[in-house]
Amino acid sequence: MKILITGAAGFIGSHLVDRMLTDGHDVTAMDNLVTGTMNNISRHLSNTRFQFIHHNVSNHIHIVGKLDWVIHLASPASPVDYLDLPIETLKVNSLGTHNTLGLALAKGAKYFLASTSEVYGDPEQHPQKESYWGNVNPVGPRGVYDESKRFAEAITMAYHKKHDLDTRIIRIFNCYGPRLRANDGRVVSNFIDQALRNKPLTIYGSGSQTRSFQYVSDLVEGIVRLTGVKHHEPVNLGNPQERTVLELAELVKELTGSKSEIEFKPLPTDDPKRRLPDITKAQTLLDWTPKVEIRDGLVQTIAWYKEQLAVAK
């Protein structure tokens, strides 16, 4: 197949590029490199089945030739990024989603939207099912990401219903692995980077807030499986094992052998207290469940961070 992946130089996007090329597809990667990096995909530049286009999808998109899939991953995806880039985040998830949907419609391609568990906000339902509408503050600091992703889902469903566009929507829960930027503000990357530098591990709040962590290869497998199933409603992709942020910090300290202390800071505004996916739909529809245990995933992730630190020296 011929596949366009937006946000392809980012963390998840680059792993999906790897998988699609391994599976024998032709991949056009698109990214404006605001939060992505060419280091994630440069090894593919000599591959005749791969091309890179430097472009901001919030602007009109022109692609020559046939497309079978448009997979829209482009967006700042961490609090550090979308708080620093609020307008860009709103635009890529509204204008960018509109542009990529229009491209898919013009090309007769199928369309895949990467949404987020952030559409649930600070949830009042636990665990979160796809049928839950969420508890989101539209004017809070996180609203630029949460609400723009909710809009992206709405316009994707509108294109499906109005134009019969063959669409998919996933809601991604916390994901980690190699290529997750050290300074992007997500809890796994923060802890590993701080631990390897023997700096204090920063916990916001008491550390009793919970998250679930899926390794990136599990997420990519879920994405690939959903492309093969005709289902248009959102599907949660995440790990149904819940753990506290404090537990994660202690585990990272153990696996890195770090001497870091744990430092507590105030909880940011609208930070979710609990986040856990109900993945019944993914299990039933896709025969999918995460396979990588957190210890194994963290060991691989820590090894990648050590390599990056060695290169930086």
Q: What is the DSSP string of 66-113?
A: --SEEEE--S--SHHHHHHSHHHHHHHHHHHHHHHHHHHHHHT-EEEE
Q: Would you write out the chain's pLDDT as a tens digit for each of its 313 residues? A: 999 999 999 999 999 999 999 999 999 999 999 999 999 999 999 999 999 999 999 999 999 999 999 999 999 998 889 889 999 999 999 999 999 999 999 999 999 999 999 999 999 999 999 999 999 999 998 999 999 999 999 999 999 999 999 999 999 999 999 999 987 888 999 999 999 999 999 998 888 988 899 999 999 999 999 999 999 999 999 999 999 999 999 999 999 999 999 999 887 776 778 889 999 999 999 999 999 999 999 999 999 999 998 887 7
Q: Residue 68 is encoded by which pair of tokens?
A: 């079978």
For each of the domains in the chain, give its residue range(s) and CATH number, in order of start.
Answer: 2-179+214-240+276-291 (3.40.50.720)
User: For 48, what's the count of Cα atoms within 13 Å in the CB-facing half-sphere?
Assistant: 0
From 12, 35, 40, select the one nearest 88 (Cα to Cα): 35
Strand partners, 52: 29
Residue 111 annotated to the active site: no
Q: Rg (Cα) of the chain, in Å, rounded?
A: 19
- In a 3-state reduction of DSSP, which class is residue 30? strand
Q: What does each C-alpha distance from 28 to 9, 70, 92, 139, 218 come to in angstroms?
A: 11, 10, 18, 36, 23
From 268, 6, 235, select the one nearest 115 (Cα to Cα): 235
Buried b (16+ CB within 10 A) or exposed e, 149-188: bbbbbebbbebbeeeebbbbbbbbbbbbbbbbbbebbbbb
Contacts 24+ apart (CB under 8 A), 26-29: 26/1, 26/2, 26/50, 27/3, 27/51, 28/2, 28/3, 28/4, 28/52, 28/53, 28/63, 28/67, 29/5, 29/53
**Which residue's structure tokens are 């630190």?**
309
Strand partners, 171: 115, 236
Number of Cβ within 10 Å of residue 284's Cβ equals 9
- In a 3-state reduction of DSSP, which class is residue 181? coil
pLDDT at 205: 87
Q: Are 279 and 238 in contact (CB under 8 A)?
A: yes
Q: What does each C-alpha distance from 252 to 177, 277, 302 come to in angstroms?
A: 13, 23, 9
Per annotation, catalytic residue among 111, 145, 215, 305: 145
How far is the C-alpha of 66 from the C-alpha of 106, rounded, in Å?
Answer: 10
pLDDT at 82: 87
Q: Residue 304 is encoded by which pair of tokens?
A: 């990648």
